[in-house]
A and B are shown apart, each in its own frame.
Chain A
Amino acid sequence: DTEVTQTPKHLVMGMTNKKSLKCEQHMGHRAMYWYKQKAKKPPELMFVYSYEKLSINESVPSRFSPECPNSSLLNLHLHALQPEDSALYLCASSPWGASGNTIYFGEGSWLTVV
């Protein structure tokens, strides 16, 4: 089972709202990721968690706040976003190890900031 599930699939939020994106995987992967993807662009890495600890933050603005409650769950808390933050947000997971790890993506959450 190579499934990463994300909710919600679509989200529309105002610039003053607080919302969260949720992600779950049951593949026993110890690395989880948030990516952002704009139309006609490749996925752009935002955060990486390994063993539930934040390993990489690619200089993401603080209006995006990740959280990893346990090894299967990953959240992305959103607050005071800008219209340019509208994009497809992808959660992903992979095994932990030195090399040769495949990243598996969820279907994504389409975010529109109005």
Chain B
Amino acid sequence: DQQVKQNSPSLSVQEGRISILNCDYTNSMFDYFLWYKKYPAEGPTFLISISSIKDKNEDGRFTVFLNKSAKHLSLHIVPSQPGDSAVYFCAASPRNTGGFKTIFGAGTRLFVKA
């Protein structure tokens, strides 16, 4: 049972345009959501997070939106750059479990074309 789903295995975007990566979750106990970026042969790097008390969090070119009623979050990258080409993992953590029960999605591979 996949509690965190990233339904698009890959996404291709032109440099300078917006990249939108989507993530759906099923567990209403999740209260903290994260995005990680992973280059080949490296560990995942934390990118941005959002608490369930917010619906938007922004950090430079990266913005995460949370729609609790739809159990959906998205990561917007504007403008996209070739260096953003990587696999992006969505993750979610249930309430009162710290990071221990963080669940990861399967990942979306982003290709940013120059």
Task: Contact check, B41 vs A101: say whether CB atoms are below 8 A apart.
Answer: no
In the complex, residue of chain A having the shortest beta-carbon distance to the beta carbon of B109 = A40
In A34-74, which residues have CB < 8 Å from any B CB? 40-43, 45, 48, 50, 55-56
Q: Which residues of B contact A103 (CB under 8 A)?
A: 34, 46, 91, 99, 102
Task: Contact check, B43 vs A107: say whether CB atoms are below 8 A apart.
Answer: yes
In the complex, residue of chain A having the shortest beta-carbon distance to the beta carbon of B42 = A107
Chain A count of residues within 8 A CB distance of the other chain: 33
Task: Contact check, B46 vs A101: say whether CB atoms are below 8 A apart.
Answer: no
Q: Which residues of B contact A105 (CB under 8 A)?
A: 36, 43-46
In the complex, residue of chain B having the shortest beta-carbon distance to the beta carbon of A29 = B99
Task: Contact check, A102 vs B89: say whether CB atoms are below 8 A apart.
Answer: no
Is B22 part of the binding interface, using a Cβ–Cβ cutoff of 8 Å? no
Give the distance to chain B from A21, nearest Cβ to Cβ, in Å. 13
Is A81 part of the binding interface, using a Cβ–Cβ cutoff of 8 Å? no
Give the distance to chain B from A78, nearest Cβ to Cβ, in Å. 18
Give the distance to chain B from A5, nearest Cβ to Cβ, in Å. 11
Task: Contact check, A99 vs B42: say whether CB atoms are below 8 A apart.
Answer: no
Task: Contact check, B46 vs A99: say whether CB atoms are below 8 A apart.
Answer: no
Contact (A31, B100) CB under 8 Å given A43-B44, A105-B43: yes
Mask of B88-114 contacts with A, CB within 8 angstroms, 1/0? 010101011111101011110000000
- Bound form: Cα–Cα A100–B98 in Å: 6
Q: Which residues of A contact B (CB under 8 A)?
A: 2, 4, 6, 31, 33, 40-43, 45, 48, 50, 55-56, 88, 90, 92, 94-108, 110
